[in-house]
Structure 1
Amino acid sequence: MLNNEKNKNLFLEPIAVLVLSRSRKGFIRKNIQKRRSLPVQIIKDQKIVEDSWQRLVEITADEILPTGDIIVPFAYWLDNKEVLLKRDSKLGVCIDGDDETEEVAKDLKHFDLIALDFPAFTDGRAYSHACLLRERYNFQGELRAVGDVLRDQLFYMQRCGIDSFQLREDKDMEDALNAFTEISVKYQSAADGAEPVYKYR
């Protein structure tokens, strides 16, 4: 009888582990879904529009990528180029202040969109990325500001060549549109191609 009970427990233990493993996998995948950013609307070309892109903030090694246009971390692109290039949909990458613009520029032909992460209002490294991508490397795709993106930054981001903006969730997009027209005079040339005021003299 004892032997039977022992054998019964040995048989049940792997099943319990399997169930827990599946539950944990489901829990992790649920959290990843929450970390994916798919805003309903963004500002693009000074208009509020529906967004078709899915930004994948964290991706596990065994995760199946969703269909449709996706934005992946630049580090994920470096490790998974072959898989990503086999997809039929558009591809974008997200770069942060620690990424080297020169490294991103090597693969520009594969990107329809580059998202620039602003982790904080005071972090200006993404402005430099934008200027270099537009002016030095002639990137013609969409440049998108993501992260801690606020109304007062939009005019200056646009001057650097950024043409779409995912505002912080607590900000009013209708009000943010006014930021593009509040300053009418530009004193310097920039990536947006606007004529500086001295050329009108």
Structure 2
Amino acid sequence: MNQLIIDLEITTDVTGPLATIAEFLAADQKPTAVFIDSDEDIESIKEFVATLSVIALNFPAFLDGRSYSSANLLRRVYGYKAELRAVGDIRIDQLEQMVRCGFNAFQLADGQNVEQGLERLKGFSFSYQPAFNREPLFRARAS
């Protein structure tokens, strides 16, 4: 089983298999966990996001950032509140930006140290630009 970082804690993945969008849409009884590749349209599941406990967005390559936009849409536009997991070629250096886009769970790529990833995430408490879940530093100082 894979180790994950979820809400700033290291845990073991017990989710089980994730349905693809095609499997999800075809199912009469909808699964509660779905895998979305970076080239798939998240609009096709927007009416179901409140019923999902896990949405895993794939980053097939370090240079493919389309899932950042999908994460932002899921959180800001569709109001998704549950686990938003980054999977695929996930590097420690990407984690802070992923949090800023709305991810709260991470399955790191092979060769990446999950403990180091957690420490990196805990190292950032402020940012200078607005993010999904934080006020920028200048607003925090003003209050």
Structure 1 equivalent of residue 115 of structure 2: 174
Give 1:181 shift: 3.5
Matches within 5 A, 1:1-201: 38-39=1-2, 41-55=3-17, 71-79=18-26, 81-82=27-28, 84-85=29-30, 91-192=32-133, 194-199=134-139, 200-201=141-142
Q: Find the aligned partners of 2:7 and 2:41 in 1 and give their Cα distance.
A: 26
Structure 2 equivalent of residue 10 of structure 1: none
Count of equivalent residues: 141
Give 1:141 shift: 1.2
Greater RCO (CA < 8 Å, at least 6 residues apart)? 2
Please list the CA deviations of residues 27-50 of structure 1 after superposition, one character each: whole Å capped at 9, or x if unmatched: xxxxxxxxxxx41x2111111112
| Identity in percent | 38
Amino acid at match of 2:75: R
Unaligned residue ranges in structure 2 (runs of 5+) = none
Paired residue secondary structure (1:53): coil
Q: Find the aligned partners of 1:110 and 1:166 in 2 and give their Cα distance.
A: 22
Moved over 6 A (4+): none
Contact conserved, 2:8 with 2:122, CA < 8 A, in 1?
A: no
Please list the CA deviations of residues 131-184 of structure 1 after superposition, one character each: whole Å capped at 9, or x if unmatched: 010011110111000100110011110111100101112111111112213444
Q: Find the aligned partners of 2:93 and 2:110 in 1 and give their Cα distance.
A: 15
Q: Find the aligned partners of 2:4 and 2:124 in 1 and give their Cα distance.
A: 22
Amino acid at match of 1:197: L
Q: Find the aligned partners of 2:50 and 2:84 in 1 and give their Cα distance.
A: 14
Unaligned residue ranges in structure 1 (runs of 5+) = 1-37, 56-70
Please tell me whether Structure 1 or Structure 2 has the larger radius of gyration of its CA atoms. 1
